[in-house]
Structure 1
Amino acid sequence: MTHLKIVHGDATQEEIAALVVALASRAVPAAKAVRKPEIWRNPAHRMRKPLPVGQGAWRSSALPR
C-alpha cells in the first residue's frame, strides 16, 4: 500500500482519516449492472412444457395454465 506524506500544513488524525476514506472510495471501481437475459432470443423459450403425469393428467393437459 502506498504511504501518504503531509508536506504542508498541520492535519489532525480525523482529517487524515477522512482523506484516506475519500481516496479509498474513489479507487474502488463501480460494479457493472447485471443485464437480464433477453428471453425472446432463447431457443428454449419455444420448446414445449413437460406433460402432466398422474391421476387426472388427461384432464389437466387441456386446461390453460
Structure 2
Amino acid sequence: MSDRGHLRVVRGNPTEEELAALVAVLTAVAARRAVDGGARGDREASRWADRSRLVRQPLSRGPGAWRASGLPR
C-alpha cells in the first residue's frame, strides 16, 4: 500500500486543525449520502429527465378548450 493519502493540498499551508475539519466535513457528507441512498439523495429529479411529461394530458372540454390546448400546463 502507498503512504499517500486521498487528499492533496494544492495551494496554501493549512494547519492540522484545518485539515481535520475538512476531513470531518467530507466524512459527514459521505455518510449522509450513504444513508440517503446515493449522490442524488438531496436533489429533486430534473424536469428534463421526467418522462411523465411525454405522456399526453387528458383533453379538456367546453368553450375555449381548443385555445387552452395550446397553452403550457
Give TM class, smaller chain: 0.3 to 0.5
Q: Which has the bigger relative contact order, CA under 8 A and spacing at least 6?
A: 1
TM-score (norm 2): 0.37
